[in-house]
Structure 1
């Protein structure tokens, strides 16, 4: 018995050591390239022209960021990105929560049909051309609402919220009904406050998608006043590459300035998400565990 305990203790130590080594390697794989991108974005064109891995900038410079912010319309694009992300996340989460709340009730007529229809949408879609024709027929082309209305529904998020709502004790729902509360009052006053971890998880996922999305702009927007930050930075990168290609007998400094602009755009677009994630991390963990699919 004693030998068995010693063996289990040794196996546990080996397992923990292997896990520690793997986690350290995984962390290094993530952190080192990220550090290289950040430091390189603050390096001058001359430093980037030398090539190789940059652990610390030999020649600090803000020229890459000046090149990005030189266009005054960048702030209009930043406002569009922030607005569509905040409004898109709020409407998406609330709409999915309403659908999830309804489908969590087994007495709803046609519930199985609605669930089956939702599952189909997870695997099949109409395709790009039918979707474009639908957006056009709805009058959403070149409007701000093309960022919001098509992104209202995601059945995957509905499933997470639906299973989360099922974990709410029936006694709370019944006591609210006894006190005279209707479905709307019960949903807003009881279920939404209790489902904040799951809703914060969905908000994080949807917020990242909204912030990084520029394909919607490529497909449905031609008015530059409605360009989000990602689309504007994409144009800046393309313009800087074009200028480098048109440079007759171009130098390495110009080429690496283009690279610096690209690195600066990566930092600018990633920074808001990196700042927001720690604030939502505790909701993210509890939401993923409590709202997980169990059936």
Structure 2
């Protein structure tokens, strides 16, 4: 028969208190998001009166109608989607290729390269030298500023490297016997057996590309090349919401306010990654665990 260990009173009290504290933390983290959502779906003028805490008092889609009629936000959404779809495979390919070279014992100066790369993880040249570098590379107001500087990450290289070191040497030796060169071994063998870590790094960089607003804010003066998060920054921190309100088509309800436009824009810009992230959380955890346990 199965025997169950009886909990002491102190253990029971601890679990109850622990559950209450965790529920309170979850509430404090989730309620601000819920507050933005319910106010975004409420009538703009009615929301100005306040008192909306749990659900919309006067449900309305006027604010979202105004947001989606704005050419600026759709252009920014297209830029974000484009830089994510292009930047992720470029980043994964180049970072994995460098990590594969670092995993080869015959690489001359490997320890020196690792030392230099590790230093760059903690120390940088600063924003002004980096801006001057971007300017000299003619990447200002250039879509490639989202792709080229982010094509490599030493942190992601370490994750790749931990995985590559666990791949049996026999796979490479068998490929060499079949006449494959280093590039074919990397492309057809190493990447193929490394799909879990490839998916993990792709998710890391995909979230970064979607959430990055700083690059567009600093290096893009052309608003037609700014991503959705930079657009959100301009709407929330500047007077862009008033400009959107003034430029609304005549068919949009007059109940839309600058505040309701800000909230609706926040929901539109963050909804895709918020919806996708919970389903991808396990890959993030797995990515941090890769190489941490040796058999």
Question: Does TM-score exceed 0.5, indicating one fold?
Answer: yes
Aligned partners of 1:78 and 1:228 also within 8 Å: yes
- Please report the TM-score for the alignment, with normalisation by the length of structure 2: 0.84
How many angstroms does 1:276 deviate by? 2.7
Tell me what 1:173 maps to.
Answer: 172
List runs of 5+ in structure 1 lacking aligned partners.
Answer: 245-253
RMSD: 2.9
Moved over 6 A (4+): 7-12
8 Å contact kept, 1:68–1:236: no
Alpha-carbon distance in 1 for matches of 2:83, 2:133: 21
How many angstroms apart in 1 are the aligned matches of 2:137 and 2:143?
Answer: 13
Q: Distance in 1 between matches of 2:42 and 2:55?
A: 9
In 2, the alpha carbon distance for the partners of 1:125 and 1:114 equals 16
Tell me how far apart the structure 1 counterparts of residues 124 and 66 of structure 2 sit (CA, whole Å): 40
Residue 215 of structure 2 corresponds to 216
What SS does structure 2 have at the residue aligned with 1:61?
Answer: coil
Instruction: Report how many residues are paired.
Output: 282
SS in 2 for 1:58: coil
| Structure-2 separation of matches of 1:39 and 1:7 | 45
- Tell me the distance in 2 between the aligned counterparts of 1:217 and 1:142: 9
**Residue deviations 1:198-229 (CA, integer Å, cap 9, x gap):** 22222222222211222212222222221222
Q: Residues 256 and 18 from structure 1, CA distance in 2 versus in 1: closer, same or farther, beyond 3 angstroms?
A: farther
Q: How far apart in 2 are the matches of 1:82 and 1:174? A: 40
Structure 2 unaligned segments of length 5 or more: list them.
245-253
2:125 aligns with: 126
Alignment of 1:99-110 (within 5 A): 99-110=98-109
Q: What SS does the aligned partner of 1:30 have?
A: helix
Partner of 1:201: 200
1:250 corresponds in structure 2 to none
Q: Is the Cα contact below 8 Å between 1:198 and 1:291 reproduced in 2? A: no
User: TM-score normalised to the size of structure 1?
Assistant: 0.84
1:63–1:195 CA distance, 2 compared to 1 (3 A): same
Higher helix share: 1
